[in-house]
Amino acid sequence: MPSLRYVPVSVNTGGSAGSTGGLPVSASPLDQHPIANRDAEITIPPENRSLIDWASFTFKLNDPRIIAGIIGLDPSLFSELPFGFSGYRKSLKLGNISIYFDGREDMGCHVEMTGQGCRLYEGNFQEAPWPELFQTIFAANGNFTRLDIAIDNVDGALTLDKIGNALQHHDSIIRTQFGEWRRILKGSFEKGKQITGDTIYLGSSKSHIQFRIYDKAQESGVAGHWIRFELQLRDKRANEAARLYSSGESIGTLATGIINTYFAIINDDDSNKSRCSLQSWWSEWLQSTEKIRLSTEQAIKLVSDTMGFIKRQYAPSLAMIKKHLGGVPFKTFVQEVLEDGNERMSAKHKKILAASEAVKTFGRGK
């Protein structure tokens, strides 16, 4: 397991000044620059798997660069931006990893990794970094505000229609703690296209737990069976799940335990629903899910990632060229660069563009 690296700065986390507060201090893959987003094409996974697909947590510490070090990232790779979120006035950004800061004194710093941010974070380590990251967060008195666990089914055991049909007969064959469900279809008027999105939501978006089940293959524009079952956990439930996982519980056991507690598709074979047996297909899917291990995935590079890279790496050079040429000649230079670049765009660039368009179309923010 890779060790997260606490950046050697002076901070009081309960120990003496300048101590690490009991967190691990050792060389990590981040002694060099982290692995960048790889040029990965969206493809259906070869087997059923699970992923950490969103992680948000808060520390009482107010220095965002210290926070970057705590979670094992090089602070110098982040760009500081003059806007924040939910009471925070500023942020550090590294792709889809954000550290929000400069709020009230008691707000500390808030870290948010979207789905793509999780993939970017994984790319900085040779092995899955999540167990140690979770342990490190709790060791630094961090607090989870959101945790999403994604379960991908590619063997055909789980389908939206099977779940949808069961929901239509929820009086007799559904056992649940949720108060509501909804299924949303998205379509296109473009010729040759019909349904472009299909998602089932279990529970309210305002509650501490919500399940989302959707056609990931359809969303990603690839052919084949790929259903994603997402568990979105907030606040208390996110902390409970993160503590269980950091203490050694497998992601499969954790996920199926949560699913079983809140939702089950049953046979109508007892007057007391709590004693009804599970439908065989649902039981088989749960049993296979319980055995899956946490996976990592190559990050899908997006246009926004390239924009950020150019801004970080080439903004000073572009400013220098503009000062040297002047306004009008600089615009001519940029136009020449764009025309040349348009002719030399490779398949790699077209994949990045297609992935970015897919994200924009579906607007999931993941």
Question: What are the tens digits of pLDDT across the range 303-326?
Answer: 777 787 687 678 888 899 999 999
Cα–Cα distance list, 73 to 78, 97, 265 (Å):
9, 10, 43
Domain assignment present for 264: yes
Tell which wins on pLDDT, 120 or 314: 120
Give the pLDDT score at 39: 42
Please tell me whether residues 356 and 345 are part of one structural domain: yes
Of 95, 119, 148, which one is at a domain's C-terminal end?
148
Q: How many domains in the chain?
A: 3
Please tell me whether residues 168 and 78 are part of one structural domain: no
The rounded distance, in Å, linking the Cα atoms of 38 and 5 is 23
Domain assignment present for 68: yes
* Rounded-to-10 torsion of CA 45, 37, 50, 27: 130
Q: Per-residue confidence at 249, pLDDT binned at 50, 70, 90? A: very high
Please tell me whether residues 166 and 281 are part of one structural domain: yes
pLDDT (mean) for 197-203 = 95
Please tell me whether residues 253 and 341 are part of one structural domain: no
Question: What are the tens digits of pLDDT across the range 14-33?
Answer: 333 333 333 333 333 333 33
Question: What are the tens digits of pLDDT across the range 332-358?
Answer: 999 988 888 888 887 667 767 766 665
Of 131, 148, 165, which one is at a domain's C-terminal end?
148
Assess contact for 115 and 53: CB atoms under 8 A: yes
Please tell me whether residues 271 and 315 are part of one structural domain: no
Please tell me whether residues 138 and 52 are part of one structural domain: yes
Give the pLDDT score at 161: 95
Domain assignment present for 130: yes
Please tell me whether residues 250 and 197 are part of one structural domain: yes
**Residue among 155, 109, 161, 137 at smallest CA distance from 52:** 137
pLDDT (mean) for 282-307 = 79
pTM tops 0.75, yes or no: no
Give the pLDDT score at 204: 93
Give the pLDDT score at 289: 92
Domain assignment present for 27: no
The amino acid present at 201, given as its one-letter code, is Y
N-term to C-term CA, the chain: 26
The rounded distance, in Å, linking the Cα atoms of 42 and 353 is 12
Q: Is the dihedral of CA 205, 231, 116, 227 positive or negative?
A: negative
The rounded distance, in Å, linking the Cα atoms of 138 and 124 is 21
pLDDT (mean) for 84-89 = 94
Q: Say which residues have a Cβ less than 8 Å from residue 8's Cβ, sequence separation at least 6.
A: 25, 69
Please tell me whether residues 324 and 259 are part of one structural domain: no
Cα–Cα distance list, 334 to 114, 305, 306, 315, 350 (Å):
33, 20, 17, 13, 21
Please tell me whether residues 47 and 143 are part of one structural domain: yes
The domain of 344 spans 303-362
Please tell me whether residues 335 and 273 are part of one structural domain: no
Domain assignment present for 23: no
Of 148, 169, 196, which one is at a domain's C-terminal end?
148
Please tell me whether residues 280 and 170 are part of one structural domain: yes
Please tell me whether residues 184 and 216 are part of one structural domain: yes
Cα–Cα distance list, 220 to 2, 315, 354, 362 (Å):
31, 32, 10, 9
Domain assignment present for 185: yes
Domain assignment present for 326: yes
Question: What are the tens digits of pLDDT across the range 137-163?
Answer: 999 999 999 999 999 999 999 999 999
Q: Say which residues have a Cβ less than 8 Å from residue 32's Cβ, sequence separation at least 6.
A: none
